[in-house]
Amino acid sequence: MTEQPFLMNQWYVAAHSAEVAHRPLARRICGVPLVFWRKQDKTVVAIDDRCPHRKYPLSKGALAGDDIECPYHGLRFGPDGRCTLIPAQSEIPAGFGSRAFPVVETTHLVYVWMGEAGKADTALVPDFFENSAPGWKAMPDYLHIDANWQLIVDNLLDLTHLTFVHKTTLASPGIQENPLEVVVDGDRVVARREMHDVDPAPIFHTMRKFEGNIDRYQNITLILPSHVHIRVEATPAGKSDDPQRLHHVVLNHLTPETERTTHYFWSISRRMKIDDPKISDLLHRMNKKAFDEDVGVLREQQRMIDTDSSPLVNLAADTAVNEARRIIRRKFAEEAATPARV
């Protein structure tokens, strides 16, 4: 789709924390096969999943202490990627090993840095505190989507599609009629839509029984490279100071697998009635249903794009999308202007 399909000097979500244990986990990110595992001290590491000897997947092997053993010829590699054992010979060549990648684990997410290791600034890791903070209840999940990551970013920044794609879950009047207010804050795109005196969307009744119309608010933030934070609020119509203001967030982390496939890590977190498992179940099921509907749309969209080289057409509702694409293009240009080093 492009000569440089991925931003490399960025932190990408590689897994939910619960996915990574003291065993190999294979995951292709930005076209690179990686293997993750949790060391005995519980820290997470990642190295290239290709044994440098004959390129066999290390993830098909097993752990020996904190090392990973290739099941083809028994070579072992440590958490830093260096070879620690070659059974067929006593000496290990200097520098022989597999590339290691910087990893950070925070707020129940595992991040990996795919670019130049020396530029892996941990201060750039986003803080999605709603995933783990006291007083919040988070429900994580994962989707694999047969579409380019930028198409999914577009989908989340333009929520006018809710009216048509998610009729039984997220749709309600007012989305089409009210514009999205968009502000660019550095490398972030921040957008808000206010919908006053509208019927509640079905999902709002999972957490609170509204007797009449509501005031509904969508707050969307794009955080590079492809994290989309969505905060949803609702109050009875005309009661902006309602102490029981409904408030939950949907966290979306879109990690390129290949140019045409994407890992979609998401969670929905709320701070009301957090001890009610029925609400957790309903909220999760309704969001999963909506996201499964998105999967079908995005798959067909990608299929059509692959048969047509003409550019996409923008509409008035694409203001946030256009700003995001502009920032991403600038980041691509900055990386292309700087020679890559690992």
Tell me the pLDDT tens digit for each residue of 263-309: 999 999 998 889 999 989 988 988 899 999 999 999 999 999 999 98
Report d(CA 201, CA 213) in Å as an integer: 10
Q: What is the pLDDT of residue 342?
A: 57
Residue 70 pLDDT > 60, yes or no? Answer: yes
Residue 203 pLDDT > 80, yes or no? Answer: no
**Is the separation of the CB atoms in 20 and 27 below 8 Å?**
no
Band the pLDDT of 166: cuts 50, 70, 90. confident
Helix 149-157 and helix 277-305, axial crossing angle in degrees, nearest 10: 120
Q: What is the percent of the chain where pLDDT is above 70? A: 96
Question: Tokens for 1?
Answer: 């789709």
Which of the two residues, 330 and 163, has the higher pLDDT score? 330
Residue 173 pLDDT > 90, yes or no? Answer: no
Rounded mean pLDDT of 51-59? 98
- What rounded mean pLDDT belongs to the chain? 92
Rounded mean pLDDT of 256-266? 98
Rounded mean pLDDT of 14-21? 98
Residue 24 pLDDT > 70, yes or no? Answer: yes
**Residues 75-94: tens digit of each pLDDT:** 999 999 999 999 999 999 99
* Whether the bond into 173 is cis, omega within 30 of 0: no
Band the pLDDT of 339: cuts 50, 70, 90. low
Report d(CA 263, CA 266) in Å as an integer: 10
Band the pLDDT of 172: cuts 50, 70, 90. low
Rounded mean pLDDT of 230-252? 85
> Which residues 6+ apart lie within 8 Å of 231 measured at CB?
217, 218, 219, 247, 248, 249
Dihedral pair phi/psi, residue 332, rounded to 5°: -60, -45
Q: What is the pLDDT of residue 1?
A: 46
Which of the two residues, 243 and 159, has the higher pLDDT score? 159
Task: Report the sign of the C-alpha dihedral through residues 160, 328, 191, 177, in that order.
Answer: negative
Indicate left, alpha or beta for 290 from its phi (over 0: left) and psi (-120 to 50: alpha). alpha
Q: What is the pLDDT of residue 3?
A: 61
**Residues 103-148: tens digit of each pLDDT:** 999 999 999 999 999 999 999 999 999 999 999 999 999 999 999 9
pTM of the complete model beyond 0.85: yes
